[in-house]
Amino acid sequence: MNLSDRIKQQLGPAALEIDQPLANRIYVYVSADQIVAAVRGLYEGLGGRFQILTGLESRSAIELLYHFSFDSEGTVVTLKTKVSTAFPEIESISPLMTSALWIEREVHELLGVSFRGHPDMRPLLMSDDWPEGIHPLRRKYQL
Amino acid sequence: MKKTILPVGPFHPIQEEPECFQLHLDGERIVDMDVRIGYNHRGVEKLSETKTFHQVPFLVERVCGICSASHPLAYIQAVEDIAGVRPPPRALYLRTIINELERVHSHLLWVGLAGHFIGYNTVFMWAWKYREPVMDLLEEITGSRVNYANARVGGVARDIPNADLAKINRYLDVMDPAVELFAGAVADDPVIHARLKGVGVLSRRDARDYAVVGPTARAAGLPIDVRRDDPYAAYGDLDWDVCVEEAGDVFAMAAVRLRELVECSKMLRQAVRKIPGGPVDAQVRSIPAGEALGHVEAPRGETFHYVRSDGGANPVRHKIRAPSYVNVPSFKARAIGETISDAVLIIASVDPCYSCTERLAVVRSADGTAELTGEDLVRLSHERTAEIRKQYGRTKLDELLAKMPPVV
């Protein structure tokens, strides 16, 4: 079974859509409330390696992309989900992997996303006197 | 149980890069640690959105002075995927050659630093003596010792004549036997064994949990290497081996890097021999809307870039993840239970992209005084080595180092 099918099987209905624009690149669309299940599927179920989480603000939402490398297949699988710009909140995946701790802190301070259940939401990059509520990777903000 | 906290104010006149390690001690043992970073945060990802796609490589090669070929390449590969462009074969070989030369100078730098931290300053001199010709070579063929500006979206910016590439072989003819001699001496040295074996062990389980990459991962038995797993540039054409060790200790990390120097040499010789002729630039003019990611095996491990385009002149999002971002936190798993005399070595062993060890300071608990600086910790490491050396007398490594011609 190829990787794309194994993902379909592992994630079940949580995988809303699967795109494979290149042989070594797979994108899986999931809804934000399914993120822990989806991550568990890729990480624990299929043995993927967590690379990083990319957050970005697009026109209508804040997108969160969780990138996993399947090294023995030479393929990167990205889980794509969205949270609302007004109330950007999602469950933390850090209980599943220590490697998520830093990046969730970073996405919080740069984009304002809240990660429910994260044990230690201190700023990672910004200085101690950086004003609360100013998230530099948002498109519009006033200092 | 009394605990001691080591704060290290991040800015110090002698340091190039600031960050702050906090080690919690109980007597001599490290019981917990934390790292504070961000002092050098420059907002490169945001800056990238203000640059055109062709300008971004000049920006991102400055993310890191020593992995400076890896960052632009990962970005460029992502953009080439968005554009559906495959660079000409000669460009792929030129990229491979520059990136392997970078690995050589980076690993030699590390060998030198590790030697210094253990207490063999002659090793430091030796490694940097063999490193200097690579820097000269890179300057000759690209114009710069670091920040080569060689790769661009679609290919490389300048061709390098085959006659210049042949100089690489002459350098390797000098480096190969030196590395072989040195690695042989280190492999059996009882003092090096006593100092590095069993120190700072990263278990396979923790290696996975921290998602470490590069030599840090391979030394802990994780057989991952982007060059083999998801081949890019010309790596798919070359015959070489991924270097894996099982012990996960500092010795294993040194062994991986020394073995990789041999593989770099193999790859460079093959690339110089096999490089085809032809154009070096696919002349990409504009980037359509889309998204992609690129990853390369930098000297420290996987460097990962994600890029999104909306068809405009600039990226609308550029995410950068350097290997040290995942490797540095693993220090926590490796240092707990170890002694402060080993702290410096354990930090240095992941080859972090900054000289963080000098950032350490320890404040003793019980007497509540003697503030030790990073220099003191290096000194503690040297003292430990000196103790061990007394037991073994003159070793093969000492013989080798004594024979080294004077460094001018």
pLDDT digit string, tens, across residues B237-274: 999 999 999 999 999 999 999 999 999 999 999 999 99
Q: Which residues does B contribute to its contact with A (CB < 8 Å)?
A: 37-38, 41, 43, 45-46, 81, 208-211, 224, 229-231, 292-293, 295, 302, 304, 306, 308, 316-317, 319, 321, 325-326, 329
B221 vs B401: which has the higher pLDDT: B221
Neighbours of B345 (CB within 10 A): 26
Q: Give how far B164 is from chain A: nearest CA, Å.
A: 34
Per-residue pLDDT, averaged over B341-356, amounts to 74
Q: Tell which of A56, A75, A141 to mutate to test the B interface (max B CBs under 10 Å).
A: A56
**Scanning every residue of chain A, which has its alpha carbon at the shortest distance from the alpha carbon of B43?**
A136
Of the pLDDT bands very low, low, confident and very high (cuts 50, 70, 90), residue B65 is confident
Residue with tokens 């073995």: B259
SS3 label, residue B5: strand
CB B303 within 8 A of CB B325: no
Of the pLDDT bands very low, low, confident and very high (cuts 50, 70, 90), residue B7 is low
Q: What is the pLDDT of residues B270-290, one digit of tens each?
A: 999 999 999 999 999 999 999
Q: Sort out which chain B residues have CB atoms less than 8 A from A49's CB and list them.
A: 208, 211, 224
Query: Which ipTM value was assigned to this complex?
Result: 0.97
Report how far residue B186's alpha carbon sits from residue B375's, in angstroms, rounded to the nearest whole number: 25
Q: Which helix (H) or strand (E) holds B385?
A: helix B374-392
Q: Where are the alpha helices (DSSP H) in B7-120?
A: 44-48, 56-60, 70-83, 89-118
Mean pLDDT, consecutive 10-residue stretches, chain A (143 aa), reads 96 97 98 98 98 96 98 98 97 98 96 97 85 89 58
Contact B325 A52 (CB under 8 A): yes
Contact A49 B293 (CB under 8 A): no
Per-residue pLDDT at B362: 52
Q: Give how far A9 is from chain B: nearest CA, Å.
A: 24
From B271, B75, B51, select the one nearest B154 (Cα to Cα).
B75
8-state DSSP, B174:
H
Q: Give how far B78 is from chain A: nearest CA, Å.
A: 11
Which residues have C-beta within 8 Å of that of residue B55, sequence separation ≥ 6?
none
Q: Sort out which chain B residues have CB atoms less than 8 A from A54's CB and list them.
A: 306, 317, 319
Report how far residue B94's alpha carbon sits from residue B354's, in angstroms, rounded to the nearest whole number: 28
Which residues have C-beta within 8 Å of that of residue B367, sequence separation ≥ 6?
none
Q: Check whether B193 has a pLDDT greater than 90.
A: yes
Q: How far is CA B33 from the centre of its chain?
A: 22
Q: Give how far A83 is from chain B: nearest CA, Å.
A: 17
From B236, B308, B323, B279, select the one nearest B75 (Cα to Cα).
B308
Per-residue pLDDT, averaged over B22-33, amounts to 81
φ and ψ of B281, to 5 deg: -145, 130
Query: In this structure, what token pair is assigned to residue B294?
Result: 């690129």
Query: In this structure, what token pair is assigned to residue B289?
Result: 């809307």
Amino acid (1-letter code) at residue B73: L
Share of chain B above pLDDT 90, in %: 62
Per-residue pLDDT, averaged over B141-156, amounts to 93
Per-residue pLDDT at B357: 40
Q: Which helix (H) or strand (E) holds B342?
A: helix B340-349
Contact A49 B224 (CB under 8 A): yes
Q: Is the sign of the CA dihedral A34, A40, A42, A43 positive or negative?
A: positive
8-state DSSP, B379:
H
Contact B38 A50 (CB under 8 A): no
**CB neighbour class for B23 (10 Å; exposed up to 12, middle 13-18, buried from 19):** buried
Q: Tell which of A27, A69, A139 to mutate to test the B interface (max B CBs under 10 Å).
A: A69
- The pTM of the full predicted model, rounded to 2 decimals, is 0.92
CB B192 within 8 A of CB B120: no
Q: Check whether B118 has a pLDDT greater than 70.
A: yes
Per-residue pLDDT, averaged over B126-151, amounts to 92
**Scanning every residue of chain B, which has its alpha carbon at the shortest distance from the alpha carbon of A20?**
B292
Q: Sort out which chain A residues have CB atoms less than 8 A from B302's CB and list them.
A: 51, 69
Which residues have C-beta within 8 Å of that of residue B74, sequence separation ≥ 6?
B294, B295, B296, B303, B304, B305
